[in-house]
């Protein structure tokens, strides 16, 4: 898993396709080492396997043309947005062409009255929300990075707001994609729901570029709430914090965010963001709604927290305080890095039913200790989704081996606890073997679908399933 | 579309499979004419095409055994729940065996702390909610009929609560299904979200039994709200009512239900349910939340309604008044039937972006008039989903032809207005040709998936896509 084996390369096909496409794309096709390296090297610990060339597409027609040429010569294509995925998704184990869609970053239509927006895949989530600023609407999905929406759809991303607003699965109404044949499909229109045949929208979401390249997305938008407030509460233990989360969800309090930080993370954040939070497991929350409802939610949570042994409960609706708190949460990864200067840090990802969350977190800490690893935890705990950030020296084989053991063990633990090997990071190269454990014969169905849609395996080969 | 042509029959295979399965299932396999007729005849206007036999399965292993025998002899299988689908889904155009799962109606596990439940596919939505009564939890999806959950998943059903709680697409965490090979797959576990490979759960939901037979479902549950209130408001026109809906959704008022009835429906309901509602386009609403939030929502809607010209706005949180109002809404189909004694009534289904709803409804009325049809409208308008109930004499060829023309025209209109040919009824036999108009080359992708998973086309052949 650490060293993803290279796949067989179609040297002559790659050479020919690059020649043909260079004619058409000129300067927009680059074979420079640095840019190739950059398009394979992502926020990951998996070895860099750079593509043979990078092409910048400006339109659906560009993508379709690239795909037709690649298909004719059986050359791999790897779609590229911001390169912030975590499981080796943009690596090129069989070589081929990285199709960079960052120039396809237009907002094509805002339908404020229908709460939807039509966009190109290269726009990032922050740029989209910046564009929407004056409409009173926003797009809630917020993975750690300022990722492209195309990449977020391809990896079925989520983030801190998913507990209330769902994931990319729930917030894409339809999409346009170029299939491996070069044909362009549109999976639906702008209706809020549909029963019209197989759910091709959901099939493409989470397919990680292995079935086609997403060239347009129609997204659901949400009204910016009248009122927002944030709260924080410390707990004597992870279990106590998890119990408060379970009660909150079960009571139907419509929290917009409910995030867990373990004591190590809290200390790291205190140091990094100059805060003075109690050095205990901490829940950070956000409430959205009317002024009255937000106050009611905060109060209801406060009572639950107290029953669970929580202390230091504070809530605020002052925008500057809210921003400071959430900025600190978003900076958690950097705060952790700063807490162990010179170390590498790998974020991994599992998701379990919330009743199993305390056990999962506790056992992961014990296993991490047993392996001599340090792996502090942050989590989108309203969904049962948590991340161990593992410190290691990436150049040290023993460190990497222990880290690999831990991640594989953690996936097994998630399955044992009726959960999933990945809540939001995806499979990529990193979790292909764990995927088979999770879905069993379902992996054959995935392979059959891949084979049917992409028989020459040109779309991001070596990710999710082998055919 | 009216007369679905029969498909070629594999006579010897069918005969052999029935013989083999009769040995195993004995009395649980029936070839009686009445039961076969009943398993082909559903809430539909499409000709009855009965299966050759009906088998009652008691377990996943039963279903797997039936599938293995059918696969060996290339015999069609048609899964059957309550037979309340509307587009000919349970017809057997190539003959074969109806697999009745109504005896598989157990609740296998309630995980109250995780807000989920594991069930067999034959349990109906009302029976499930009855089972859950003492848990403080409920399952919100409510199509008109008391349908089986397996059938609801297979057709991607929704209903009046979808505007707040989503459809079956959003409320199934994972499922177990028997594939055409006889292999049993489980598409996921109980995690609230997952990025583990292709979304096989969503692929099966809405596949209408054409890719496999669902044998188990893990469903999301929701907490019964602390408070509920209902409201009604009359409007001078459909447009005015639609404008109020758009404003309500756009303001982010989290309505649990927002239903439109046209003036004809209101009069029919008044007569049938002995009510005294103003004979105008009417919105019926329900609000869920805390006591304070429910009052706030009702008040906010009242203001919007007034701005849109609404009148006679009333809201109540008295359970008996709420029940009476919603019972009347659920009886709308029967009220309509009673308004035209002796006529048949066909419910059709499209869904458009809500900004196009008024236009869609208005144009559908005009077209209906032009064709000499009466087709009153009810709608889950928060989603832009509405149903024309068309009166006709089903034995009159001219009536049927005009009705067919209207339904096909209505699908085209929905597409013209950026909507879908079906919001919740599905494709079945009735809308196969319209599906191609909606998804274009996507239909080839659907066919490729069907071919890959069910190469012998034994799973509910003649529905959704031909291969």
A437 CA: distance to closest CA in chain B (Å) = 11
Q: Do A192 and B351 touch (CB under 8 A)?
A: yes
Nearest Cα of chain B lies from the Cα of A252 at a distance, in angstroms, of 6
Would you say residue A462 lies in a domain? no
Does the distance separating the beta carbons of A198 and B464 come in below 8 Å? yes
Interface mutation vs chain B, best among A135, A193, A200, most B CBs within 10 Å? A193
Which 3 state secondary structure label does DSSP give B322? Answer: helix
Q: Which residues pair with B421 in a beta bridge?
A: none
Cα distance between residue A456 and residue A7, in whole Å:
14
- The pair phi, psi for residue B348, each rounded to 5°, is -115, 180
Contact between chains at B191 and A162 (C-beta distance less than 8 A):
no
DSSP helix/strand/coil, B151: helix
Closest chain B CA to residue A465: B197
On whether both B97 and B111 belong to a single domain, the answer is no
H/E segment holding residue B214 = strand B213-220
Closest CA to B179 of A451, A446, A421, A434: A446
**For residues A85 and A154, what is the distance between their CA atoms, to the nearest angstrom?**
10
B155 neighbourhood in chain A, CB within 8 Å: 195
The parts of chain B modelled with pLDDT lower than 70 are 1-3, 42-43
For residues B456 and B446, give the distance between their C-alpha atoms in angstroms, rounded to a whole number.
15
Count Cβ–Cβ pairs < 8 Å, chain A vs chain B: 294
Closest alpha carbon to A282 in A232, A318, A244, A228: A232
| Residue in A89, A141, A194 to test binding to B, most B beta-carbons within 10 Å | A194
Could you tell me if B368 and B388 lie in one domain? yes
Cα end-to-end distance, chain B, whole Å:
18
Q: Do B422 and A192 touch (CB under 8 A)?
A: no
- What the block records as the tokens of B45 is 């206007």
CA B132, CA B346: separation in Å to the nearest integer? 33
For residue B191, the distance in angstroms to the closest alpha carbon of chain A comes to 5
Given A113, A249, A445, which is nearest B115 (Cβ)?
A249
Residues of A in contact with B298 (CB under 8 A): none
Q: What's the total number of domains in chain A? A: 4
Cβ of A190 within 8 Å of Cβ of B422? The answer is: no
Query: In whole angstroms, what is the distance from residue B173 CA to residue B191 CA?
Result: 7
Tokens of B92: 């057997």
Map tokens 């990945």 to a residue: A422
Among candidates B116, B194, B422 on the partner chain, residue whose Cβ is nearest the Cβ of A420? B194
What chain B residue is nearest to A195 in terms of C-alpha separation? Answer: B426
Strand partners, A78: A98
| Dihedral (CA of A446, A452, A457, A460) sign | negative
Cβ–Cβ below 8 Å for A196 and B155 = no
Digit-coded pLDDT (tens) for A224-266 = 998 999 999 999 999 999 999 989 988 888 999 999 999 999 9
Residue A327 has a pLDDT of 87
How far is Cα B194 from Cα A157, in angstroms, rounded to an integer? 9
Are B367 and B298 contained in the same domain? no
Residue A24 phi, psi dihedral angles, 5° rounding: -85, -40
Nearest-Cα distance to chain B for A413, in Å, is 13
Tell me if B223 and A251 make a contact (CB, 8 A cut-off): yes
DSSP label of B205: T
Calpha distance B322→A97 (Å, rounded): 61
Res. A3: pLDDT tops 80: no
Residues A95 and A148 in one domain: no
The CATH number of residue B80's host domain is 3.30.43.10
Quote the pLDDT of residue A162.
94
* Distance in Å, alpha carbon of B103 to nearest chain A alpha carbon: 26
How far apart CA A77 and CA A70 sit, in angstroms, is 7
Give A318 to chain B, closest Cα distance, Å: 22
Q: Distance (Å, rounded) from C-alpha A143 to C-alpha A422? A: 14
Contacts of B62 (CB under 8 A, 6+ apart): B25
DSSP-assigned beta bridge partners for residue B412: none
User: Reduced to 3 states, what is the DSSP secondary structure of residue B342?
Assistant: coil
Tokens for A11, please give them.
């040297």
Of the candidates B102, B121, B142, which is a domain's last residue? B102
The distance of Cα B318 from the centroid of its chain, to the nearest Å, equals 29
Domain boundary among A189, A223, A257: A223
Q: Taking Cα atoms as reference points, which of A157, A389, A67, A111 lies closest to residue B195?
A: A157
Does some domain include residue B466?
no
Pair B244, B296 in one domain: yes
For residue range A94-117, list pLDDT tens digits in order.
999 999 999 999 999 999 999 999
Tell me, yes or no, whether B145 and B40 share the same domain. Answer: no
Determine, yes or no, domain membership for A437.
Answer: no
Q: E strands, B101-212, where?
A: 107-111, 116-119, 137-138, 172-178, 184-186
CATH code, domain carrying A219: 3.30.465.10
Domain that holds residue A214: 107-223
Nearest to A292 among B249, B252, B296 (CB): B296
Does the beta-carbon distance from B197 to A423 stay under 8 Å? no
**What chain B residue is nearest to A416 in terms of C-alpha separation?**
B189
B236, two tokens = 């001078």
Please report how many Cα atoms fall inside a 13 Å half-sphere around the Cα of residue A83, on the Cβ side. Answer: 17
Q: A388-422: string of b/e by CB count within 10 Å (b at 16+)?
A: bbbbbeeeeeebbebbbebbbbbbebbbebbbbbb
Of the candidates A48, A80, A102, which is a domain's last residue?
A102
Q: How far apart are the CA of A383 and the nearest CA of chain B, in angstroms?
A: 6
Of B147, B157, B170, B198, which to mutate for an interface test with A (greatest number of A Cβ within 10 Å)? B198
Question: In this complex, do B448 and A443 lie within 8 Å of one another by their Cβ atoms?
Answer: no
Closest residue in chain B to residue A294, using alpha carbons only:
B293
Nearest C-alpha in A relative to B177: A442
CATH number of domain containing A287: 3.30.70.3450
Q: Give the minimum alpha-carbon distance from A136 to chain B in angstroms, rounded to a whole number.
A: 9
* B242: closest CA of chain A, how far (Å): 12
Tell me, yes or no, whether B457 lies in a domain. Answer: no
Nearest to B353 among A191, A211, A385 (CB): A191
For residues B147 and B250, membership in a common domain is answered with no
Sign of CA dihedral A425, A429, A431, A435: positive
Q: How crowded is the C-beta side of B37, counted as CA atoms within 13 Å?
A: 3
pTM as predicted? 0.97
Q: Are residues A84 and A153 in the same domain?
A: no
Does residue B146 fall inside a structural domain? yes
Say what the pLDDT of residue B292 is.
87
Answer yes or no: do A195 and B186 touch at CB < 8 A: no
ipTM score here? 0.96
On whether residue A86 sits in a domain, the answer given is: yes
Please tell me whether residues A218 and A244 are part of one structural domain.
no
Q: Which two tokens stand for residue A159?
A: 């983030």
Are A156 and B195 a contacting pair at CB < 8 A? yes
> Per residue, what are the HEC states of chain A?
CCCCCCCCCCHHHHHHHHHHHHHHHHHHEECCHHHHHHHHCCCCCCCCCCCCEEEECCCHHHHHHHHHHHHHCCCCEEEECCCCCCCCCCCCCCCCEEEECCCCCCEEEEEHHHCEEEECCCCEHHHHHHHCHHHCEECCCCCCCCCEHHHHHHCCCCCCCHHHHCCHHHHEEEEEEECCCCCEEECCCCCCCCCCCCCHHHHHCCCCCCCCEEEEEEEECEECCCEEEEEEEECCCHHHHHHHHHHHHHCCCCCCEEEEECHHHHHHHHHHHCCCCCCCCEEEEEEEECHHHHHHHHHHHHHHHHHCCCEEEEEECCHHHHHHHHHHHHCHHHHHHHHCCCCEEEECCEECCHHHHHHHHHHHHHHHHHCCCCCCEEEEHHHCEEEEEEEECCCCHHHHHHHHHHHHHHHHHHHHCCCECCCCCCCCCCCHHHHHHHHCCHHHHHHHHHHHHCCCCCECCCCCCCC
> What pLDDT score was predicted for residue B327?
87
Is residue B208 located within the same domain as residue B234? no
- Measured from the Cβ of residue A133, the count of other Cβ atoms closer than 10 Å reads 10
Q: Name every chain A residue with its beta carbon within 8 A of the beta carbon of B203.
A: 198-199, 202-203, 449
Per the listing, tokens 């009302």 go with B126
Q: What is the chain B residue with the closest CA to A424?
A: B195
- Do A111 and A219 belong to one domain? yes
Percentage above 90 pLDDT, chain A: 89
Cβ–Cβ under 8 Å, residues A406 and A371:
yes
Please answer yes or no on whether A419 and B246 come within 8 Å at the CB atom. no
Please name the member of A189, A254, A422 whose beta carbon is closest to the beta carbon of B418.
Answer: A189
B464 occurs within a structural domain? no
> By three-state DSSP, how is residue B219 classified?
strand
Q: Which pLDDT score, from 0 to 100, does residue A1 have?
A: 43
Statement to judge: residues B349 and B303 lie in one domain: no
Name the nearest CA neighbour of B162 among B286, B278, B47, B306. B286
Distance from CA of B321 to the nearest CA of A (A): 25
**B431: in domain:** no
| CATH number of the domain where residue B349 is located | 3.30.70.2740
Contact B246, B382 (CB under 8 A): no
Interface test with A, best of B109, B195, B219, B303 (most A CBs within 10 A): B195
Q: Are A156 and A167 a contacting pair, CB within 8 Å? A: yes
């Amino acid at each position: 898993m650490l060293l993803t084996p290279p796949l067989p390369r179609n040297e002559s096909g790659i050479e020919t396709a690059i020649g043909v496409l260079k004619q058409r794309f000129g300067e927009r096709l680059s074979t420079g080492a640095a840019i190739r390296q950059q398009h394979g090297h992502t926020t990951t610990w998996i070895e860099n396997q750079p593509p043979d060339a990078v092409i910048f597409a400006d339109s659906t027609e560009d993508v379709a043309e690239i795909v037709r040429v690649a298909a004719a010569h059986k050359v791999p294509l790897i779609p590229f947005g911001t390169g912030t995925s975590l499981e080796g998704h943009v690596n090129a184990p069989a070589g081929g062409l990285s199709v960079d869609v960052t120039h396809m970053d237009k907002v094509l239509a805002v339908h404020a009255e229908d709460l939807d927006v039509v966009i190109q895949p290269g726009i990032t989530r922050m740029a989209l929300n910046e564009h929407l600023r004056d409409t009173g609407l926003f797009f809630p999905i917020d993975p750690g990075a300022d990722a492209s929406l195309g990449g977020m759809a391809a990896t079925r991303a989520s983030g801190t707001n998913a507990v209330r607003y769902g994931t990319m699965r729930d917030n894409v109404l339809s999409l346009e994609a170029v299939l491996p044949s070069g044909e362009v499909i549109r999976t639906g229109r702008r209706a809020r729901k549909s029963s019209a045949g197989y759910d091709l929208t959901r099939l493409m979401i989470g397919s990680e570029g292995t079935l086609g390249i997403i060239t347009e997305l129609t997204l659901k938008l949400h009204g910016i709430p009248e009122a927002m407030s944030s709260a924080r509460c410390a707990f004597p233990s992870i279990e106590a914090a998890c119990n408060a989360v379970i009660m909150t969800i079960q009571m139907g309090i419509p929290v917009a965010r409910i995030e867990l930080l373990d004591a190590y993370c809290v200390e790291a954040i205190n140091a990094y963001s100059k805060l003075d939070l109690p050095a205990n497991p901490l829940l950070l929350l956000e409430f959205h709604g009317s002024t009255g409802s937000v106050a009611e939610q905060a109060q209801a949570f406060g009572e639950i927290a107290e029953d669970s042994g929580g202390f230091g409960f504070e809530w605020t609706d002052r925008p500057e305080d809210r921003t400071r708190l959430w900025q600190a949460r978003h900076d958690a990864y950097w705060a952790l890095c700063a807490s162990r200067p010179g170390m590498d840090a790998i974020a991994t990802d599992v998701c379990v039913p919330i009743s199993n969350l305390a056990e999962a977190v506790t056992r992961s800490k014990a296993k991490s200790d047993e392996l001599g690893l340090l792996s502090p935890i942050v989590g989108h705990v309203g969904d049962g989704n948590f991340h161990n950030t593992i410190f290691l020296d990436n150049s040290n084989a023993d460190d990497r081996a222990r880290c690999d053991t831990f991640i594989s063990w953690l996936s097994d633990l998630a399955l044992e606890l009726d959960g999933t090997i990945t809540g939001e990071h995806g499979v990529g190269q990193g979790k292909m073997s764990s995927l088979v454990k999770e879905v069993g014969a379902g992996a054959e169905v995935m392979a059959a679908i891949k084979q049917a849609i992409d028989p020459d395996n040109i779309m991001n080969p070596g990710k999710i399933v082998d055919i």
